[in-house]
Each structure stands twice: as C-alpha cells, then as structure tokens.
Structure 1
Amino acid sequence: MSRIPQIALLVLATLCLISKLNAQEPAKKPNIIYFLADDLGYGEVGVYGQEKIKTPHIDALAKEGMLFTQHYSGAPVCAPARYILMTGKHAGHAYIRGNDEWRERGEVWDYKKAFTNTKLEGQRPIPENTITLAKKLKEANYVTGVFGKWGLGAPETEGVPTKQGFDSFYGYNCQRQAHNLYPSHLWENETKVYLKNELIAPHAKLDASVDPKDESSYDMYYQTDYAPELIHKKALSFIEQNQDSNFFLYYASPLPHLPLQIPKKYAAPYREQIGTEDPYVGDKGYFPNPYPRASYAAMITLLDQQLGELVAKLKELGLYENTLIMFCSDNGPTYTGGADFEYFESSKPFTNGAGRTKGHVYEGGIRVPFVASWPGQIKAGSVSDHISVFYDVLPTLCDIVDVALPQIVDGVSFKPTLLGSEQKEHDFLYWEFPSYKGQQAVRMGKWKGVRKNIFEGNLKIELYDLENDLKEANDLADQYPEVVEKITRIMEQEHEPAINDRFKFAELGDK
C-alpha cells in the first residue's frame, strides 16, 4: 500500500474519532441568574405596558429573549412564594403556605428587642431535609449564592441559606427587618453585619409636631448604608469571584417592596417628571415620604438599573453568551403604605387595589412579569403565552443542567418553551392561601376558579373566563356548573392538611 492512502486512512480515522468524541461531549451548562423583584406588579414594567416608570434594562432583556404573558407566582405573598420557587411544590403540598413570623418565640415585631436578641429575628425555618433548587444545582457542581431577602429560616436555625444549598448569602434573613431599607444590620452567611444606620423601628409615623410639607421633616428616614446598594455590590462580586465556575445567582431584591425609601439622587429625575405631589405621612403603614410617587418609581428604576449592571458585568467578563437570566416578581403589587397603584396602574390589565392584588389569588395578586434570556438558545424577541408558575422553575432548571428531579414535585419543565420545541402543558394550576379569610384558586385552561372567605364558611366558587375577562369581573359559575364541579374536585385532591396548624383549613376537613 502506498504512503498517501495510508495517510488518508489515518486522517479519516482521526476525523471519525474526533466526530465521535464531539458527539459524546455534553453541551456546556449555562450560568443561571434568577432575579426576583419584590412586590413588582405586572403593569409596572415598560414591556408590559407601563408608561410612567422607566425600565429600559428589563425591556431590553425581553427583546433579547422571551417574554411570558401567563406566568404566575406560587402565592400572593413573600414567604410561601419563595418556598414554592425553591422546592417545586405548590401551596397544597408546601411546608410554608403563608407568612409565618414564628410568634411563639416572643415579641418578634419589637425591632429593638430583635436587634439585641437574634432569636426573635427571622421566620419559621424550613426543615433541614428540604430539597431546594440550590441543593439540586449543587449536584450539578454549581456554585450557589443568594443575595437579597431570604425569609425561609431564622438565624441560627436549619433554615438559613447556607444550610439549604447556598454557598454564599448576603442580605436580609428576616422579612420584617426588610421593612427598613436603611437597616441596622444585614447577614453575611451566618454572621451579623452591623451597618452605619441608627435603629428605627419600621412603620414609625411622622411626628405630629413637624411640618409634613417640609422635606427636612423626613431626614431621619434617609441614613448612610442603603441595603439594596450593598446587596447589589455583593452580587456583582459573586459573579467576578466565580467567573471560572458554573454559578447560580439567586438575586432576591428587596425592591420595590415598601417602605418608600431611596437615596434622593435616584428620585430626583422623577420629582421633575411628576411635579408637585402630596407627601405620605405614614398613616397607612410603613415610613412616611415627602414625594411618594417619585420615590416608588425611582425604586423600580433602580431595580431595573441593577439588572442592567448584572448584564454589563456578564458581558465584561465574557459570560453573557452562556448565561440564562430569568427576571420575575414574587407576587402582585401592594395597595398601601403610600404606593399609588391607581396612578401607576400597577396591575394593568387586571383589577387594581385592595382585595385584588398582593395577598389575594386574583390575577393581580399572582400573575407576574417574567422574562427569560439565553443568547443563542432562546429566540430573541419571542413571546410565550405558555401557562407557567413558580413551581415549574425547579424542574426547568433541573432539566437544563441534567439532574434528577426530587421525588415529589408539582411543576412541569418549560425548557421546551424556552428552546422553541413542543411543550407539555399543565392540566391545571393550584393555589391556596390561609390568610385574608382563607383562599383557594385553580387555573384550568381559560377558566379560573376562586374560592375566598373560606374561614367564614364560604365554599362557593367564583368562575371567570380569562380569555374574555382578565379583570375577573363576571362570575360565570351559575352558567357552567360542570366546570365548577371539575375545579371543586381539583381543590379537594390538591389540598393536603398542612403540618403547621397556622396553615390549616378546618373548613376543608383539616384536623
């Protein structure tokens, strides 16, 4: 055999071997950032129709990725929503089903006592053996960090982030402490970090002796260390420190949750845009503020700016192309504490205000903005009407990084939707919430069933056609009894009695 054919055969064999090795090589796993806003309404983002508040970076992320029009929180308030996000279980199977301040410890709402006694801080801890999203990503060799607000386990308990799968934590352990954006302290891992701020109990009203129209009357509510800025710096540092590893960054911002507090430099452009406005004196809870509309808008724009700075950092480090970014809110907007939901149309196109937004299972309380970006994988500028929910996030990310699901999970991976392939749909979504007199809800196709005032003995279900009635104004229960019957059965089968007595429904047979 001549030398040339031998070389040709050798080259061919080498090419075949390379091809085989490439075929067997797994796809590179993406870095993952899940950016969670706090109490941000569906209608408070530009790409979802907001006209008064500027959110250019969220809007840009949507243009570079996918915007979801039918994405839901797992609950209408903080703690259960975050538990459901972390575990993939809906509220009928969840350990945490409402905000639980663990009051049997003592005077947990006394901020001065909590400052000196760590055992009064934080919420009831989730069990040590809880399978969390962070623990699953650790199985795929991800470095994990949470920055912002936790709320799932008090200091010195098994519920702290570093015992629930996170390598790094910086921010508020306690939701109550987050009712002050210039707090006395934050936590770094399991260490209490004291800040250059005086201890002021949240919800302190304006002194009756001062002039509410004098801006200096509010000086005590503006201090030195602004928690959202400190948290943001730590998150950026986490990206830099772990740029050579796969990382999962759970950025749980305290913005724009009340109180209305933001450094004056951020509010200045909105003061000029909005003009003269009446001060908020603290009569409806949370701190007073001399220019409430400008402050609230600025808090959302700062949130947006911080997302933009994360994206800029990823691009600077050459990580953006291999990073999946998800942006969302934990529940609908608030209706108190100086936030002007009517002026900003915070829940547009849903019904606004008390009883229909935060704390309630109507659309304004649980349907949330959700944007996902992953260059080269998610089609830029795409819009999805896939019906998805917080408890889908864990199975989706497990699917993406190729780790097995926990034995019990209620979610469905929406990875196919992200990548433009055929998607399995939910038969239904389920919520329950043992506050505001007890509530349940089911989304089944176009139908939405709501049961409220359960603790007052009401088991009647309201029925809405969301294709034609986004405001949930026309109860069609009498016209479609067969649909009501199906929803009733779902509510019965998906509700399991809670372990914690605080979350039980005696009216549903819980003992």
Structure 2
Amino acid sequence: MTSRKTILIAVVGIGPLLSCTNEKVKQRQVKPNIIYILADDLGYGELGCFGQKRIETPNIDRLAKNGIRFTQHYSGAPVCAPSRCVLLTGKHMGHAQVRGNDEWGARGDVWSYKSMLADSTLEGQRPMADETITIGHKMQEAGYKTAMFGKWGLGAPHTNSIPTKMGFDFFVGYNCQRMAHTYFPTHLYKNETRFHLNNDTIAPNTKLDKGADPYDINSYKKYELNDYSSDVMFDELTGFVEENKDRPFFMYWATPIPHAPLQAPKKWIDYYVNKFGDEEPYLGEQGYFPCRYPHATYAAMISYLDENIGKLVQQLKDLGIYDNTLIVFASDNGATYNGGTDSPWFNSGGPFKSEMGWGKGYTHEGGIRTPMVASWPKKITPGSESEHMSAFWDVMPTLCEIAGIETPDDTDGISFLPALLGNKQTTHDHLYWEFPSYGGQQAVRLENWKGIRKNIMKGNMELELYNLDEDIQEKSNVAGQHPEIVKQMEEIMVREHVPAESKRFQMKELGD
C-alpha cells in the first residue's frame, strides 16, 4: 500500500437533507450525479485550458473556467487497458491485475478483424478476475444507476469481465479495444449483445487502392462509411441521462477519441482544412488508415468530442440537474505518435515531450501526466487550480467519499475531494508505476523528483533521476549527484511491486 502524509481534512457535507415527499427527488438533492469522461490518448497540452493553440476546445475550457484544473494529475499507466484497470479498481500498477495490453492471443487469430466479426469469442482482452470490485460496483452500492459508454478493453464477450458484470447497469460501446481501431465498425455492444451498424467491413490497416492518387480526396472514400460509432454512443448516452434525471446516476464515458485511426465528421474536417490550409496526406505507414488531411482530422476529432461535451452540459441544464452534477474530464495516457498523428506539430505534450519514446507507452511525464478538469457548481470554486499530486488510483476513494460509502481497504488511493473543494488535502508520499512493455519500465514521483528505470527486461536496473522543478522535460539525469534519493526510490520500487499473476505482465528482473 502506498504510504501517505496525513493532514487534517475538513469535514464536508454533501448537502442537507431536505424534507420532501418524493424519495427520488430527495435522493437527487442529497447525492450528486457523477459523470467521469475519459479521453483516449489525449495529451496534456491538447486542450485550450492547458495551453493548446491550434485545436479549439471551448466547452472543456468552460468546464475549467467554471471549475478546477489539476496540473499534477497522472494516469494509471502509459497505455489503454492497464490505465483503465487502475482507474476502475483503485490499485496502482504494482498491484493491478492488468499491467499491459493483453490481447489474449492463445484463443486464435485475434488480430484479424474479419475473424473477430465471424467469431465473437475472439473479441476482447484477457479478463479480470470474477471477484474484482470496481467503481461501478461501489456506486451501485451507494444507490446510483450506473452506465458506461465507449471503450471497455478489460475483458471479453462470454466472460464475467464485461461492463454489465463489473458494476454497470447499462453499457453501449466497444467491448474490444482492437475493434475500436475503426470508428466505422460493423457492430457495437449493447449490454451483452452485439448490435449491428450500417457499415461494411473495412479492416484496420487497409491501404489506398493501387494506383490511387493520394492527393485526391475521393481516394479515401472507402474509409468513410455510414454510422460513426461516437455518434451512436453519444445518442445512447443522452438517452440514459434523460431516463435517469430523477435519480442519482454515475456515468463513465470512455470515449475512444482521439485514439487513431484518423476519422472524424466531415463538417469538422472541413473547418480545420480551412483553418490549417492544405497539407501532405498520411498514407498509413504507421498503422491504421490513410488520411488526406491528418492534421485537420486529428483536430476535428477533439473538437467533435468537445462539441458533444457542450451538448451534454446543455442537456443537464435543460433537465435542471446541472447544478447537482460533478463532471470530471481526464485522459487515459499521454499523446500517441502513430497512425498519422503529429504530436510535435500540435505541441500535444504541452511542457513535456510527447514524441516516440516520451509520450504514450513511456513513463516519462508526457506519457503519464494528463489534463484533469472538474466542474461542480456551487461546490468547486470557479477558475481554481490545484497542484495536488494525484493519480487514477485516487478516483475510487474520491467517488466513494462523495457517494457516502466506504472505500475498499485494498485501494492505493486517497480521496482528492478536499482538493476539489479547496480544503486541506492529504497528500501522497510518492506515486508508483511499472509497465512490462516497451522494454519494461518503473517510475516513481517523489515530491519534485522523478525516477525512471527503462529497458528492465534487457537487464538494465539503473535508475535515471530528474528534478522536475528544474527539468520538466527530463533531459538531465542527475542520479549520480543524489545517491540518497536514488536509494529511496529503489526501496519504493521494491516495496510497491507485487509479482503479477499473469505471466505476460511478469518481469523476472523484479523477482517475478
């Protein structure tokens, strides 16, 4: 368990019980609705409120203006599945069940899109244990109606590790993160059943037709089908809000945006083509699909998501429940480098480096420090900012405290509710990550210090040390100048690591 410094926390009431004959209205007044929005591969610097200059995000910026920005918030891991496991279970990577992307390849040809369409048992990832307790379970315990929309990535169809068996009353989205490698899939899942969209099969990584002109927009028509999955999921999401307006609900919106491939609604692509001008096409050399206007399309995806967040906020206001709703926005890891994205051009990492080796997949700041914004009218001071050092494993205890229920004893997190409300906050002594991919990595954040081990599985156990106050881009390794800090971090790395149960996530160099 992560050690922590203890500071007196002011007791905060969620709200006075008001006399009311309608029990549903009474519940709504006492317990706030909670909406947690998780973007996919969105970099620290890709929102206007975090310094972005080229991509427009007025609705998320407005949430920050009316709420709070967390400037030292970290994801659970530098890639999708483990980060989501940490978020939902409250256990950091040294204790988490899922510590990397595990496509469960022993089942067969899981990377064949057509094979997965023919056989649903090839979809999904290796499942979590049946007894896993998630945030969804805890919110159900607190009396919330729960729902998830978007990308799951933590189990597979026909197992118990699916949203409806992991704490969510309602689910619409991608069960499998590989299937989310297109925004025009043949199907999504509603609860436990496939429902088919009006799209033909275009497998990810399909290149342009032979002889096609890469500068002719018509050469890319086969990648633009009928039903855009994010439209479908958003329609279901707003329907859930309407249906549950008279009772407390918890909604986990795990949008696949802006994860590659580069596919977005035409109106937003046209908007950014007009703004950015002509550009060189992306031909699919780094995976996913070719794209005529890669910069414009990437920006379009983010602005499309921002537009839908604005629509959701307006719906909450129209229903009269906005003032009693906590909205949190974050990203599962840092900006990516493949699929035609261009992190340096957008300055996606903000103050951090985010290109290959520094962003997604790596425990440098550009890979795991992510933007977090929270809005809660009359609770959070508008325009506030927090430097509180927090991470995904803190979300479980935070939401449990807000919902008025006990946090599981085995969580690694601490509630950041006091920081949300501007009160005195218990702090972490340190934060810890490990990642058995991209060579094998460990990382520790200790006050202003950041320690990283890379290429562990190649026999390297040397720890690099960076002073983030002086070197935010982690360029100058000062381990040789501070042996006492290095020793302290090495001790943390030993103490926080429990051997992974899955062989895929084990690192023998750490004693697994």
Q: 1:177 aligns with which of 176, 179, 187?
A: 179
Moved more, 88-97 or 347-356: 347-356
Deviation at 1:104, TM superposition (A): 0.5
Residues 20, 311 of structure 1: alpha-carbon distance in 2 compared, 3 angstrom cutoff: closer
Which residue of 2 is the match for residue 404 of structure 1? 406
Rounded Cα–Cα distance in structure 2 between residues aligned with 1:187 and 1:162: 11
Which residue of 2 is the match for residue 505 of structure 1? 507
Matched, 1:137 2:127: no
Which residue of 2 is the match for residue 163 of structure 1? 165
Rounded Cα–Cα distance in structure 1 between residues aligned with 2:88 and 2:437: 21
Which residue of 1 is the match for residue 299 of structure 2? 297
Matched, 1:44 2:15: no
Which residue of 2 is the match for residue 344 of structure 1? 346
Deviation at 1:20, TM superposition (A): 11
Deviation at 1:311, TM superposition (A): 0.6
Rounded Cα–Cα distance in structure 1 between residues aligned with 2:112 and 2:442: 32
Rounded Cα–Cα distance in structure 1 between residues aligned with 2:473 and 2:166: 38
Rounded Cα–Cα distance in structure 1 between residues aligned with 2:40 and 2:162: 19
**Which whole-Å deviations, capped at 9, do the CAs of 1:18-38 have from their partners, x for residues lacking one?**
x9998xx99711000000101
Contact 2:17 2:30 in 1 (8 A): no
Q: 2:114 aligns with which of 112, 116, 128?
A: 112
Which residue of 2 is the match for residue 217 of structure 1? 219
Deviation at 1:352, TM superposition (A): 2.6
Rounded Cα–Cα distance in structure 2 between residues aligned with 1:205 and 1:358: 24
**Which whole-Å deviations, capped at 9, do the CAs of 1:246-297 have from their partners, x for residues lacking one?**
0001000010000001121221110001001001010111100000000000
Describe the SS at the equivalent of 2:230: helix
Residues 21, 321 of structure 1: alpha-carbon distance in 2 compared, 3 angstrom cutoff: closer
Equivalent runs, 1:138-153 vs 2, <5 Å: 138-153=140-155
Which residue of 2 is the match for residue 330 of structure 1? 332
Unaligned runs of 5+ in 1: 1-18
The alignment-based identity, stated in percent, is: 56
Which residue of 2 is the match for residue 278 of structure 1? 280
Describe the SS at the equivalent of 1:431: strand
Rounded Cα–Cα distance in structure 1 between residues aligned with 2:17 and 2:312: 38
Rounded Cα–Cα distance in structure 2 between residues aligned with 1:341 and 1:206: 24
**Which whole-Å deviations, capped at 9, do the CAs of 1:169-227 have from their partners, x for residues lacking one?**
00100000000000010000001011100011111122232111111110000000000
Which residue of 2 is the match for residue 385 of structure 1? 387
Contact 1:204 1:286 in 2 (8 A): yes
Rounded Cα–Cα distance in structure 1 between residues aligned with 2:508 and 2:55: 44
Residues 198, 479 of structure 1: alpha-carbon distance in 2 compared, 3 angstrom cutoff: same
| Root-mean-square deviation (Å) | 1.3
Which residue of 2 is the match for residue 14 of structure 1? none
Rounded Cα–Cα distance in structure 2 between residues aligned with 1:498 and 1:295: 39
Residues 125, 21 of structure 1: alpha-carbon distance in 2 compared, 3 angstrom cutoff: closer
TM-score, structure 2 as length reference: 0.94
Which residue of 2 is the match for residue 6 of structure 1? none
Rounded Cα–Cα distance in structure 2 between residues aligned with 1:501 and 1:394: 27
Q: Letter of the aligned partner of 2:254 in structure 1? A: A
Q: Letter of the aligned partner of 1:86 in structure 2? A: L
Rounded Cα–Cα distance in structure 2 between residues aligned with 1:190 and 1:509: 39
Deviation at 1:306, TM superposition (A): 1.1
**Which whole-Å deviations, capped at 9, do the CAs of 1:134-168 have from their partners, x for residues lacking one?**
00011110000000000011011100100001000
TM-score, structure 1 as length reference: 0.95
Describe the SS at the equivalent of 2:479: coil
Contact 1:222 1:263 in 2 (8 A): no
**Which whole-Å deviations, capped at 9, do the CAs of 1:303-350 have from their partners, x for residues lacking one?**
111111111110000000000000000100111111111110111210
Rounded Cα–Cα distance in structure 1 between residues aligned with 2:213 and 2:469: 50
Q: Letter of the aligned partner of 2:382 in structure 1? A: A
Which residue of 2 is the match for residue 78 of structure 1? 80
Equivalent runs, 1:51-70 vs 2, <5 Å: 51-70=53-72
Rounded Cα–Cα distance in structure 2 between residues aligned with 1:363 and 1:195: 39
Unaligned runs of 5+ in 2: 1-15, 20-25
Rounded Cα–Cα distance in structure 2 between residues aligned with 1:131 and 1:441: 26
Contact 1:40 1:256 in 2 (8 A): yes
Moved more, 204-213 or 188-197: 204-213
Which residue of 2 is the match for residue 101 of structure 1? 103
Matched, 1:375 2:377: yes
Moved more, 60-69 or 256-265: 256-265
Q: Letter of the aligned partner of 2:158 in structure 1? A: E
Describe the SS at the equivalent of 1:276: coil
Contact 1:42 1:332 in 2 (8 A): yes
Deviation at 1:407, TM superposition (A): 2.1
Which residue of 1 is the match for residue 7 of structure 2? none
Q: 1:355 aligns with which of 354, 357, 360?
A: 357
Matched pairs, number:
490
Contact 2:265 2:304 in 1 (8 A): no
Rounded Cα–Cα distance in structure 2 between residues aligned with 1:203 and 1:65: 40
